[in-house]
A and B are shown apart, each in its own frame.
Chain A
Amino acid sequence: MQNYIMVFIGAGFGGALRYWGSDIVYKFLPTTFPYGTLFVNILGSFIIGLVIYYLDSNKLINHDLRLFLTTGFCGGLTTFSTFSFETINFLKEREYFLAGSNMILNVFLTLLAIFISYKLSNLLVGKLNF
């Protein structure tokens, strides 16, 4: 039961941050492309990378906090459903370039974000060990 509570609370915080974060982006970027969704997906991927490769790998967090941060917080922060919905919207409007860009950017940049957090974690571990 405690696991579900951790996920529930984490997802609440993550979802609230997504709601805020995916909006604030449009104060700086145009509304012709779903930069907000892209931003929260990249941010969530970067955070989950740090949590797994740095915090969890080095036993800096316990099981509950790992669950809270990964399945809960990062799960709530990122959104595959919104990405799919917005891509379909482009396809419906025959905006194939934007649909393709959305797919490529979301997949490529989220993977890149995790890769960067993985490398950063290794760097931090190296420094700590030193």
Chain B
Amino acid sequence: MEIKGEAKLLRIFVGETDLIGHIPVYERIVQEARKIHLAGATVFKGVMGFGGTSRIHTAKILRLSEDMPMVIEIVDEIEKVEKFLPTLHDIFEEAKSGGLITIEKADIIKYVVGNKNN
């Protein structure tokens, strides 16, 4: 698999406790991205943040650490990323939770598929 040149970086912000059934939304997004063979997806857990409700979430205070921000980043060719957007909209609809999706231009410098687990 090869990605060269201009691509898109898809960034999705959700909450740690956003669920679809028993599955976290961030996990569902990664699963769906894998299904359509996107180049890769990485999930980051934030240590502090706030969303649409302006409610602060912070890892330092136990009571406020219940719904930490999660960021999923996906980089791939423009067509493949755009093809994934309807799925993302469906996930957000299904979860009925808040969130944010951004998309921006990304220049791929290097994309290498390792073989250490083969």
Contacts and interface: CB of A to CB of B under 8 A. Distances in A.
A interface: dominant SS = helix
Interface string B63-80: 110000000000000000
Interface stretch (B52-60, B84-92, B94-102): B52-60
A78 to B, nearest CB: 14
B61 interface: yes
A125 B107 CA distance: 77
A47 B60 CA distance: 27
B60 A90 contact: yes
A24 to B, nearest CB: 10
Interface residues of B, number: 8
A49 interface: no
Nearest to A34: B61
From A19, A26, A31, A36, residue with most partner B Cβ within 10 Å = A31
Interface stretch (A3-11, A62-70, A81-89, A106-114): A81-89
A31 B56 contact: yes
Interface in A79-108: 82, 85-86, 89-90, 93
Interface residues of A, number: 14
A37 B58 CA distance: 14
B67 to A, nearest CB: 12
Interface string B16-47: 00000000000000000000000000000000
Nearest to B48: A31
A22 interface: yes
B62 interface: yes
A86 B56 contact: no
A119 B60 CA distance: 35
A26 B64 contact: yes
